[in-house]
Amino acid sequence: MPTTRSSTRPAAPEPTMQTAARAFLSSPSFAVAGASSNPAKYGHILFTWYLSHSLPVTPLNPSSPSITIPSHPQPKSHATVPSPSALPHPGQTALSIVTPPAVTSKVLKEARDAGVRAVWLQPGSFGEEELAYAEREWPGRAVGGFGEGTRGAEGWCLLVDGEAAMRGREKM
């Protein structure tokens, strides 16, 4: 009796947070939901992280038409967009979220509907529901939680884990 080959392939390995972080940072453009002019807020610190790495970034803030970032020789104003659907190219944009969990839930739904490419949920911006939703809607392109590989005690954070992920994105 002839033998037949099985057409089933072994299952692809489960994506890790490291691969999701590298995929996130391989995006052509970025946005920060919760961007702020206030240097004490994480939305400000996160936005300036992108600027300091010369990455194209758009601030999302529905309450202000712009945010101001100190720079030399004078502060620079950056026009905001009010929501993920207002991004110029959402399908090419990875969205960092640094908002309270109730707001994050709404931002995630808008981001999904707009076709945002990837999301990174910063520590404190989500609960179990928001993280599960992000992982379901952006398989392999959602970063957040306490998965293996983070160097921070607060979970996956762009400010802590972003450098390593940027070095690894060339492997993508």
Give the domains, in start order, of the chain with CATH numbers: 17-171 (3.40.50.720)
Q: Please tell me the predicted confidence (pLDDT) of residue 4.
A: 45
Answer whether 80's CB lies under 8 Å from 60's CB.
yes
Answer whether 57's CB lies under 8 Å from 30's CB.
yes
Lowest mean pLDDT among 6-20, 61-75, 95-109, 153-167: 6-20
94 token code pair: 């990875």
Could you tell me the CA-to-CA distances from 35 to 10, 12, 38, 147, 160 in Å, in that order?
Answer: 43, 36, 9, 25, 18
Whether pLDDT at 71 is above 90: no
For residues 18-45, average pLDDT: 96
Whether pLDDT at 45 is above 70: yes
Q: Report the SS3 class of residue 57.
A: strand
Alpha-carbon gap, residue 102 to 106, rounded angstroms = 7
Per the listing, tokens 């607060």 go with: 154
Lowest mean pLDDT among 10-19, 37-46, 65-74, 161-170: 10-19
Whether pLDDT at 69 is above 60: yes
Give the number of other CB atoms < 10 A from CB of residue 135: 21
Q: Please tell me the predicted confidence (pLDDT) of residue 39.
A: 94
Q: Report the SS3 class of residue 23.
A: helix
Mean pLDDT for the chain overall: 89
pTM here?
0.87
**Confidence class for position 171, pLDDT limits 50, 70, 90:** low
Alpha-carbon gap, residue 80 to 166, rounded angstroms = 25
Q: Please tell me the predicted confidence (pLDDT) of residue 72.
A: 64
Question: What's the distance, CA 78 to chain centroid?
Answer: 19
CA terminus-to-terminus distance, the chain = 44
Whether pLDDT at 27 is above 80: yes
Answer whether 25's CB lies under 8 Å from 169's CB.
yes
Whether pLDDT at 153 is above 50: yes
Percent of the chain exceeding pLDDT 90 equals 74
Answer whether 18's CB lies under 8 Å from 165's CB.
yes
- Residues 84-139: pLDDT tens digits? 999 999 999 999 999 999 999 999 999 999 999 999 999 999 999 999 999 999 99
